[in-house]
Amino acid sequence: MWDGIIAGLDTAIAPFNILMVVVGCFSGTFIGMLPGLGPISAVALMIPITYGLDPASGIILMAGVYYGAVFGGSTSSILINAPGCASTVVTAFDGYPMAQKGQAGKALALAAYCSFTGGTIGALILLVAAPALATVSLSFQSSDYFALMVLGLSAVAAFSGKGQVLKALAMTIFGLMVATVGTDAISGIPRFTFGNLDLIDGISFLLLAMATFALAEVVMSVLKSEHKLEEAPMDMSALGSMKLTKEEVKHVAPTAARSSLFGFLVGVLPGAGATIAAFLAYGIERNLSPRAIKEKFGKGALRGLAAPEAANNAASTGSFVPLLTLGIPGSGTTAIMLGALIAYGIQPGPRLFVDNPEVFWSVIISMYFGNVVLLVLNLPLIPYISRLLIIPRPILIPLILFFSITGVYLVSFNSFDIELMVLITVIALFLRLLNFPMAPMLLGFILGGMLENNLSRALIISDGSLAFLWQRPLTALIMSFAILALVLPIVGRFFGWRRMEGKADMNVVDQGEG
């Protein structure tokens, strides 16, 4: 393990990779600040650039963009009450009232410190938990993998909130259906290509991610005429002090620690992610607080800002656990990273720890660097980064469209891909209007091929019998969790704890989730 850590540290401290962390954090912060563009779009926009880099640098850049986007989302939540992504919606509950009281600087600093705490605690747990889980998962068989993928997909639907479970499930199945287009990897037979040679290789995940997130989110803002709205001006001169007093630090420290731990655990769950972690941490902190502090929640409470910020960053780190150790993405963003890793020829999963220790460890170590960069460089530069937002929307939107399109075109040099993007974007827009979430579709698409491979192996080993689902205790246990994940939301409604998640998902549908 120590050899791996040293190899990872060696890779992570290479000047070029440190540059990638800095560039990733800056560009992520900028994209994350743009209301409507979340971490998924930010990471998707970076993919074409990472194709020219080596795998470790590419993934480090994407991880930096991920953190930057979550941080950027918090900034626009606090300053203009316009969350850049769903996971920072809760940040606005207490962050914006603080900004209105002239404490924007303090709110930004607190958000950065808590994000740092969340990210640091998350990275430390990941450092211990990931290799342990990777070692255990080396004994996994194809039936266990199949069960894990079913768990991942059903958990995505289960965590999608009140009234959304069936829609999320439908989108997951839709993603699995799209994954079957092209040549069947097992038999070599073309499926659903309708004689079109351009579909023989299937639909590229980059194309699907760009069309359903980056492109669809920008076009959605045009559809709602949001490009005509004047952005609320950010009065940078009225930021106020960025310093926190000792008492304030003492007041929020336990909150940050609790929420970080809790956020990480929620992030590890497949499909849960940063949004749910932030909402739940906020709710828990409000319930734990004494009456006097509880009444301040929603009016600029320090703990109300600290809890979601620590939780969403820790959850972002936690979502790397299933990705790096099992090869199963825990969120939409990590699903895109999984696709990118596969494009590099690296198969995330238990073997990653053994076969590519430098990628495994450098990602974990650079996550910590990313948090340092956000705290040391981004925080003082926020007033300057946010000036980029004054680029008028009529100029910015065609540029984002252009980058999304060329990002796909420059990989394949096939104009059919752009035509397909137009078609998929139109479908995605219509589905968004019908309140269908997009992330489950992407997750279904990316897991589709692996799910089919593992099912085929398990079925062939068990001679066509489905008994493999319950014969091996581990498979049976994971399958029971998958069934529970689908049944629990219905039971949960009786206890009323899903109310807040429902609230979160209204934003998830519109803004893309982390």
Partner 1 sequence: MTLTKDHIGGLLFLALSVVYGYYAYEIRMFPGDQFEPFNAQTIPRALAWVGSIVAILMLATGSRSATERLSFAGLDVKLVAKLMLLVWIFAQALSWLGFLLSTIGFLLVGYWLLGERRPRTLLLASVPFAVGFWFLLAKLLDIYLAPGQVWQWL
Residues that bind partner 1 (CB under 8 A): 52, 163, 166-167, 169-170, 173-174, 176-177, 180, 184, 186-187, 189, 191-192, 219, 222-225, 227-228, 392-395, 397-399, 401-402, 405-406, 409-410, 413, 415-416, 418-419, 421-422, 425-426, 429, 431, 433-436, 451-452, 455-456, 459-460, 462-464
The nearer residue to partner 1, 232 or 460, going by C-beta atoms, is: 460
**Tokens 């984002």 map to which residue?**
400
Short-list 114, 98, 84, CA closest to 240:
98
Structure tokens at 245: 């007093």
Least distance from partner 1 to the Cβ atom of residue 398, Å: 3
Calpha distance 274→439 (Å, rounded): 13
Bridge partners of 183, per DSSP, are: 190
Calpha distance 299→253 (Å, rounded): 20
Number of Cα atoms under 13 Å in the Cβ half of residue 26: 13
User: In this structure, is the dihedral angle defined by the CA atoms of residues 49, 341, 8 and 26, taken in order, positive or negative?
Assistant: positive
Least distance from partner 1 to the Cβ atom of residue 178, Å: 10
Bridge partners of 191, per DSSP, are: 182
The nearer residue to partner 1, 384 or 413, going by C-beta atoms, is: 413
The answer to whether 323 and 330 have CB atoms below 8 angstroms apart is: yes
The nearer residue to partner 1, 261 or 429, going by C-beta atoms, is: 429
The nearer residue to partner 1, 236 or 411, going by C-beta atoms, is: 411
The nearer residue to partner 1, 49 or 123, going by C-beta atoms, is: 49
Least distance from partner 1 to the Cβ atom of residue 49, Å: 10
Least distance from partner 1 to the Cβ atom of residue 184, Å: 5
Least distance from partner 1 to the Cβ atom of residue 261, Å: 36
Calpha distance 146→492 (Å, rounded): 26
The nearer residue to partner 1, 94 or 452, going by C-beta atoms, is: 452
The nearer residue to partner 1, 135 or 462, going by C-beta atoms, is: 462
The DSSP letter of residue 191 is E
Least distance from partner 1 to the Cβ atom of residue 31, Å: 18
The nearer residue to partner 1, 74 or 143, going by C-beta atoms, is: 143
Please list the helix, strand and coil fractions of the chain in percent, rounded to the nearest 5, in that order.
Answer: 75, 0, 20
Least distance from partner 1 to the Cβ atom of residue 165, Å: 10
Q: Say whether 182 sits in a helix, a strand or coil.
A: strand
Least distance from partner 1 to the Cβ atom of residue 191, Å: 5
The nearer residue to partner 1, 139 or 225, going by C-beta atoms, is: 225
Least distance from partner 1 to the Cβ atom of residue 429, Å: 7
The nearer residue to partner 1, 382 or 405, going by C-beta atoms, is: 405
Taking each helix axis from N to C terminus, what angle separates 165-179 and 439-461, rounded to the nearest 10 degrees?
Answer: 60
Calpha distance 57→288 (Å, rounded): 42
- Region of 271 on the Ramachandran plot (φ > 0 left; ψ -120 to 50 alpha; else beta): left
Short-list 303, 183, 189, CA closest to 251:
303
The answer to whether 436 and 167 have CB atoms below 8 angstroms apart is: yes
Query: Please, what is the end-to-end C-alpha distance for the chain in angstroms?
Result: 30
Least distance from partner 1 to the Cβ atom of residue 146, Å: 11
The residues near 164 (Cβ < 8 Å, ≥ 6 apart) are 435, 437, 502, 505, 509
The answer to whether 228 and 273 have CB atoms below 8 angstroms apart is: no
The answer to whether 319 and 330 have CB atoms below 8 angstroms apart is: yes
